[in-house]
Copies of this chain bind each other. A is one copy, B any other.
């Protein structure tokens, strides 16, 4: 059995619809339920629910908490998936890359444009991809979303088109 650590931080992927307010919010954890739907006969997924925030509201201190949570599991030399709001996912990833120069396994950030469990959601696809990416990628920090995998220093979110793109002209 291999282990993959998951650190969930919130973001759209984890939002729920609140019937009282009629809005989508980061109220309850959700990612764990969806990971359990995947068949992973040789993988143990260990999930830490670190925080549940819209990534536009994440502060420097929040990012430090993510870094700290990553440091805590790094000695296991197992890959790490971080579920994160897409708006500042790259910022958090760049901090990890800067502060963690010698990785032994990949760290993959992922998230969603539409919450898990909502019609047309890309969330479960991205969870599935990020887990498989941890298997095939060399050590480093990456974003895995929509069938694409980007090294963290070569990616940005294209908000208008609701997707990630290379920072330079690659297709």
- A: contact size bracket: 35 or more
A16 and chain B: residue at smallest CB distance: B119
- 23 A-B pairs within 8 Å (CB atoms) are namely A1-B171, A12-B22, A17-B115, A20-B159, A22-B54, A23-B24, A24-B24, A38-B125, A40-B147, A41-B147, A41-B161, A42-B147, A117-B120, A118-B118, A118-B119, A124-B124, A129-B129, A129-B132, A132-B133, A132-B147, A133-B136, A135-B149, A136-B136
Contact of A135 among B16, B23, B118, B147 (CB under 8 A): B147
Say what secondary structure dominates the interface of chain A.
loop
Residues from chain B with Cβ under 8 Å of A148 in the complex: 41-42, 135
